[in-house]
Structure 1
Amino acid sequence: MARTDRLMRLMDTLRRLPQPVTAARLAEESGVSLRQLYRDIATLRAGGALIDGAAGVGYTLTEDKALPPQSFSRLEIEALMLAQSGLEQIGDATLIEAGRNAMARIVATLPDGQARQAMHTVLRSWRQKDVRPPVRVDLDLLREACWQEFSLSITYRDLQDRVSTREIWPLGMSYAEDTLLLLAHCRLRMDYRHFHVSRIEAMTRGPESFRPKRVSLLREYVAGRRQSRPGSSSGS
């Protein structure tokens, strides 16, 4: 894990767990040794984080009161918590944890009254569990390929159970009620395709980089979709 990500995760853990938090618990949550944890605590303190406590006692994070608190309306708080609730239903474990950490960071900066509202929202998201088929490939790698714009080599079983191996340029994912779809530019067909992620049987990092083409490819895809709609026409 990158140093910046590790320190951010440590801050999120301090916000999320009941305080004071023991060094052993923080080390376990952060996936580091106790020695590394003490170094990370020192780094955060040097960077301005107000962390009270010491080894053997436990640590307490005090948010910097010099920073202006965030302020949201009651409905905005409900909307944020509803989005988090929906993520809990459709996301994978890594994405769910990221959402929880982000929400904990937001709530930690709210005034007391609004923080209490966030803990007692009335809106909830619900969906039937186990509707989508399980995903067998590494979603972290898939997200990274979309962000960093590198190709993937996949083995794919289509809806007619035909198996093929192909190189793709992954562009983005869509979370639907019953499936997780990947939009990609297929280098075998040289066209845009939607792949059911649950039907990808194997996936490895490919040899190509398509940076910085992702935005232009998405624009081309959207323009093509608009032209293919009934009643649409193209200019001369």
Structure 2
Amino acid sequence: MSRTARLFQLMQALRSLPSPVTAQRLALETGVSDRTLYRDIDTLRGLGAVIDGAAGYGYTLIEDASLPPMAFDDEELEALVLGLREVQAVGDPALKEAATSALAKLRARVPEAQSRRLQHAVLTAHRFAPPPPPGIDARQLRRAAWDEVQVSFAYRDGQGQDTRRAVCPLAIVYFEASHCLLTWCLLRGDYRAFRLDRMRDLVVSDTSFRPRRAPMLRAFLEQIRGSADSRDNSNGLLPEPKQSR
């Protein structure tokens, strides 16, 4: 790991770990000796970061010079916290980690008074029954959707039948009980939704369907809305699409 990357990792540890953080914990996070850690702290201070503490007492990041202050009003701040905590409640492991990291970065960028407000926000999100974990690497699946390449996976439907599917991945949507991948299914020649917890053995191909993801997703969502309208769905929410058999 380069020294620049290590310093960046140290800053992120100072942002995200409960303070004060001991030198031993920071050294463990960055994979260096205690002596090197002390030198890295001095380097960050020299670059403008305000870091309180000393060896034997732990360290607290007071001001992050690399991130300029951001201005949010109180309602915007509550909305940001609620959204990120919702991701922590229902996201896959990679997204939960990303939301925790984003909250730490947000705390470092807002003025001190708002940083305290952020830590004790009125709004929060909680799920007593969190969604089942995905059976595949959701981060890899998201990347395939962004790159607009076809994927294949083993799938077990609600009746216990096993199939192998090749699809164009369009979006991942959280419904009431699970995460679903919205797709164009090559086997069925139609739009289909697949629960991530029923997927296994994900394979990402190099077969591109660019630039059709956005229009295909719009068409699928319009199909879902049309189904909702035909059933006189008065609550205005999108119903869960029919899952593949």
Q: In the alignment, is the contact (CA less than 8 A) between 1:51 and 1:59 conserved in 2?
A: no
Q: What is the Cα deviation at residue 74 of structure 1?
A: 2.1
> Is residue 82 from structure 1 mapped to residue 69 from structure 2 by the alignment?
no
Q: What is the Cα deviation at residue 11 of structure 1?
A: 3.1
> Is residue 152 from structure 1 mapped to residue 133 from structure 2 by the alignment?
no
Change (3 A) 1:194 1:86: same
Instruction: Output the CA distance in 2 between the equivalents of 1:215 and 1:5.
Output: 35
**Unpaired runs of 5+ in structure 1?**
232-236
Change (3 A) 1:50 1:120: closer
Change (3 A) 1:199 1:177: same
> What secondary structure does 2:134 align onto?
coil
Number of residue-to-residue matches in the alignment: 225
TM-score (norm: length of structure 2): 0.73
Change (3 A) 1:60 1:7: same
Q: What is the Cα deviation at residue 28 of structure 1?
A: 3.5
Q: Deviations over 1:150-170 (max 9, x none)?
A: 221111111222211121111
Instruction: Output the CA distance in 2 between the equivalents of 1:5 and 1:185.
Output: 40
Q: Root-mean-square deviation (CA), in Å?
A: 3.8
> What secondary structure does 1:121 align onto?
coil
Q: Deviations over 1:8-28 (max 9, x none)?
A: 654322212325653x53454
Indicate the larger mover: 61-70 or 162-171.
Answer: 61-70
Q: In the alignment, is the contact (CA less than 8 A) between 1:84 and 1:99 conserved in 2?
A: yes
> Is residue 161 from structure 1 mapped to residue 157 from structure 2 by the alignment?
no
Q: In the alignment, is the contact (CA less than 8 A) between 2:182 and 2:194 conserved in 1?
A: yes
Q: Deviations over 1:19-51 (max 9, x none)?
A: 5653x5345435x566xx97xx69x96xx6647
**Unpaired runs of 5+ in structure 2?**
232-245
Percent sequence identity over matched residues?
Answer: 37
Q: Deviations over 1:30-80 (max 9, x none)?
A: 5x566xx97xx69x96xx664769xx8887656456975212222222222
Q: What is the Cα deviation at residue 127 of structure 1?
A: 1.9
TM-score (norm: length of structure 1): 0.75
Q: Deviations over 1:171-217 (max 9, x none)?
A: 11112231111101111112111001111132222241222321122
Residue correspondence of structure 1 range 5-154 to structure 2 within 5 A? 9-17=9-17, 18-19=19-20, 22=23, 25-26=25-26, 28-30=28-30, 50=49, 63=63, 69-130=69-130, 132-154=131-153
Q: What is the Cα deviation at residue 5 of structure 1?
A: 8.5
